[in-house]
Structure 1
């Protein structure tokens, strides 16, 4: 099977703050110690080692004032091998969000990352609906952190049921859930598999269960809506890729998961 590989879930930071940011996040990352230094250079080296052609870089605006600096960072790193996601904060005005989306569209950026715990909202909070409507209007997709979070034990802000509510309310909103529906909510993830506008990526799931169980959970989702993800630097890209490729899945399904579905969502033919 010959194909390019797209990793739909990675994180990096500007060089000047990467060391500090990674150290702070690592305090709450449990057994998931960082596997790169959190820089663009570190990610590209990891991609080269793993044989990954393109990585989607998720950014999170933890304050309203971070929205524009994150966009500037996205423009600086975007290229053949990096597809960055912008972020907005619930505290940003809709005029600010609309202006950002116009700039993002001009820059060829199609995705928005939102993290309920770090940004202080519930996924089905109605105050978020104007943002979802605008994402839908621009034809962008939204990547939510979904399920529990190792840094926020027991927190329910990103529960899979909340995602289901939003998916049914906004049927043209393309939603990417993380960690195969929702981290450590795999017994409930099946409710998202029936939503035709919901995708999922695979990060931090094979690290939590046996291969057979992973395949069973994955089967809750249509093969056209599953994306490979590592959550680098919190797992090693090569380790996650190698383990995923060893799964007992048909080659055609693997090709969709590793490349074709992501390329279609990003609106690109992928890396050459």
Structure 2
């Protein structure tokens, strides 16, 4: 079984879109059993409605799609309440996008979100690598606020996978609750080194479709030089464990 640990559904105010039927067809073409899905940034900025719709779509998918909640921390206490409501409605984690909602992930105003995720026992996925908003070091600071919660950095923890960006990602991975998604990481040696130095349980296959292509990102995980057992963790074991896939909601 293969699990894509992050895709986006809906019509984004930023110009990209994907619907559930098209995503499932893509999963079928790639032999992927399940995808973890988060809402795009909705055009009307109604995250509660978007979370409700994602939960309904996932519920109708026969287990093919697993929902995440998405919140805007600028909504303050209402955002924290929405996270709790969405988790109660079936969300298996929370997705935060500092670039699209425009906040710094290490802003102290994010601490209540981290702490509530800890109380709810759900992982946090952070769109990572955006300059001054969600660079890996900043995500590492956020992770300190919820040490018992898995925090997953997209883009391998970096958008510019060179020089100090790689070093920053590895510094953030020094926190035992920090993980990375494989999307966009064009350097196989970085993924191989992460598995070797931090463990295969810290890396998850995720395409971040439709911003990235599922088939290409899927192929990336199959070409890195790691053991079959380690690859199985990247492709399914870690996502199953973190998001409770195969466990009743």
TM-score (norm 2): 0.87
Which residue of structure 2 aligns with residue 267 of structure 1?
A: 244
Which residue of structure 2 aligns with residue 167 of structure 1?
A: 143
Which residue of structure 1 aligns with residue 154 of structure 2?
A: 178
Counterparts of 2:176 and 2:44, CA distance in 1: 31
| Structure of larger gyration radius | 1
Which residue of structure 2 aligns with residue 70 of structure 1?
A: 50
Which of 98, 103, 116 lines up with 1:121 in the alignment?
103
Secondary structure of residue in 1 paired with 2:95: strand
Which residue of structure 2 aligns with residue 59 of structure 1?
A: 39
Unaligned stretches of 5+ residues in structure 1: 27-36, 149-154
Q: 1:268 to 1:92 in 2, by over 3 A?
A: same
Which residue of structure 2 aligns with residue 227 of structure 1?
A: 204
Which of 62, 75, 88 lines up with 1:106 in the alignment?
88
Which residue of structure 1 aligns with residue 181 of structure 2?
A: 201
Q: Does 1:158 align with 2:134?
A: yes
Q: Does 1:10 align with 2:27?
A: no
Counterparts of 1:120 and 1:181, CA distance in 2: 18
**Larger fraction in helix:** 2
Secondary structure of residue in 2 paired with 1:78: helix
Which residue of structure 1 aligns with residue 67 of structure 2?
A: 84
Unaligned stretches of 5+ residues in structure 2: none
Alpha carbon RMSD of aligned pairs, Å? 2.3
Larger RCO (alpha carbons 8 Å, 6+ apart): 1
Indicate if the aligned counterparts of 2:240 and 2:246 stay in contact, CA closer than 8 A: yes
Q: 1:123 to 1:220 in 2, by over 3 A?
A: farther
Counterparts of 2:133 and 2:238, CA distance in 1: 27
Matched residue count? 240
Counterparts of 2:179 and 2:159, CA distance in 1: 14
Which residue of structure 2 aligns with residue 187 of structure 1?
A: 167
Counterparts of 1:59 and 1:82, CA distance in 2: 12
**Which whole-Å deviations, capped at 9, do the CAs of 1:46-67 have from their partners, x for residues lacking one?**
1111111111112255799522
Q: 1:157: how far off?
A: 0.7
Counterparts of 2:219 and 2:80, CA distance in 1: 40
